[in-house]
Copies of this chain bind each other. A is one copy, B any other.
Amino acid sequence: MPRARPPLVDCDIHNELSPGSLDPYLTRRWREHAATYGGRGDGGASYPKGSRNAARVDAWPPSGHLPGSDLGFMQQQLLDAHDVRFGILNCLTPANREPNPEFAAALCRAVNEWQVAEWLEKEPRLRAGIVVPFEEPELAAAEIDRAAAHPGFVQVLLLVRTDEPLGRRRYRPILEAAVRNGLPVGIHFGGGRGPVTGTGWPSFYIEDHTAMAQAFQAQVTSLVIEGVFERLPQLRVVLIEGGFGWLPSLMWRMDTHWKRLRSEVPHLTKAPSEYVREHFWTTTQPIEEPPDPRQLLAVFDNLGGTGRIMFSTDYPHWDFDDPDRALQVKLSDTDRAAILGGNAMALYGLT
C-alpha cells in the first residue's frame, strides 16, 4: 500500500495562450490592433503588422517563404518591375545584437557568407552591407577585414540604436576597419536596449518610429563632436531610413553651441555643420514630407544640395516607397538622376 500522501500544492504551473485564444475577449478594434501592430513588448519599436518582417501584403512569395527571402521573387517584384540598376541589401537580423560575443561573431559571419553564396554570387545587380557584432568592436572589425575581400560588400551595416553613441572610443575599431577597407558605414533604423527617447519609453509604435530620428540626431552629434572625422578624414557615413528633415536644424544647433562651447572640444577644427556636409549621406525612405514640396528644396539647400541624398525603397517592408511615386518635388533632371542613382553609384563605386 502506498503511503497516504499529504495534500499536494503545485506552486508553479503555466497556462498557455494559443493563437486566437483572446479573440472572443477582445473587441474588434483591439483584435485588429493586435493583427496590425502586435504587442510592442519591452523593446518598443518593431515594425507593425505583427509579422516577423513587417512586409507589404503582396511581398509574400508564392514559394511560401518569408518576404525578402526569395531571390527569384525579389528579382521579379523589385529589380525587374522597377528597373533597378543596383540594389544595396541591408540584412536585418538579430545576429548583430546577440549578447554572447563569440556566438554573435559566428552568426554575423554566417549571415555574410550566406549573403555571398545566396545573393551576391547569384545576382549581379545586388550589393550588400557587412553585418557585424557592433557591440563587440574588435570582433566586428575582424569580420569587416574578412568579409570586405568580396567585392559585393559595399558598406558596413550598423543599427542606429547602439548601446553608446557611435563616436565613443569603444566603437573606433569598427570605423577604422571601414576606412581601412574603403567602405562607408551605413547606420540603419533599429536596434536598442535602452529607452528610445531621453524621457523614457512612449506608448505607441508611431512614437517609436518618430523617436528613431532622434537616435539618428544623437549619432550624427556624437560622430561629429567626438572628432571622429579629424582622426578618420576618409570616413563616410550613410544614414539609412532615418529621414533627414531634422538635419538642417541639428546643424544650426550644433554650430550655435559650438561658437560658445568650442573650448570643450578643441579637437574640432571647423564648425560641426561642415563635418556633416562632408561626411554624411542619407537615404530617402521615409522622407518627412512637408506640406509644401518647396520646403524639401530648402532642406536640400541646407545640406549643400542633393549630392548626398540617395533613393531607397525599403523593400519589402510595409512603408515601401515606389520610385515612380516618391519624391513629389520639382527637381532638375540632373538632381533627380543624382538622387535616384548617381549619388549611390559614386559613393558605393557601382559600375
Contacts and interface: CB of A to CB of B under 8 A. Distances in A.
B264 A204 contact: yes
A165 B202 contact: yes
Given A225-B207, A249-B245, A260 B29 contact: no
A32 B211 CA distance: 36
A200 interface: yes
A207 B221 contact: yes
A93 interface: no
A249 B243 CA distance: 9
A222 interface: yes
B302 A295 contact: yes
A256 B203 contact: no
A151 to B, nearest CB: 31
A243 B246 CA distance: 13
B196 A198 contact: yes
A262 to B, nearest CB: 8
Contacts of A299: 249
B209 A257 contact: yes
A253 B213 contact: yes
Interface in A188-245: 192, 194-207, 209-215, 217-219, 221-222, 225-226, 243, 245
A26 interface: no
Interface in A261-298: 261, 263-266, 273, 286-291, 295, 298
A203 B221 CA distance: 11
A196 B18 CA distance: 40
Identical chains in the assembly? 2
A126 interface: no
Given A225-B206, A249-B246, A288 B256 contact: yes
Contact of A194 (B166, B194, B260, B266): B194
A287 B215 CA distance: 21
A348 B203 CA distance: 31
Contacts of A192: 198-199
A120 interface: no
A197 to B, nearest CB: 4
Nearest to A222: B202
Given A197-B218, A245-B252, A295-B302, A32 B204 contact: no
30 contacts: A32-B263, A36-B263, A160-B199, A161-B198, A163-B199, A164-B201, A194-B195, A194-B200, A195-B195, A196-B198, A198-B212, A198-B218, A204-B265, A206-B225, A209-B261, A210-B225, A210-B254, A211-B218, A213-B249, A214-B214, A214-B217, A214-B218, A245-B249, A246-B249, A252-B289, A253-B288, A255-B291, A256-B286, A256-B288, A295-B298
Given A166-B199, A192-B199, A257-B286, 19 more contacts: A33-B264, A36-B264, A48-B261, A160-B199, A161-B198, A165-B203, A167-B203, A196-B198, A204-B264, A206-B257, A206-B261, A207-B218, A210-B254, A213-B250, A214-B218, A249-B249, A256-B287, A260-B319, A273-B291
Interface of A: 29, 32-33, 36-37, 48, 160-168, 192, 194-207, 209-215, 217-219, 221-222, 225-226, 243, 245-246, 248-250, 252-258, 260-261, 263-266, 273, 286-291, 295, 298-299, 302, 318-319
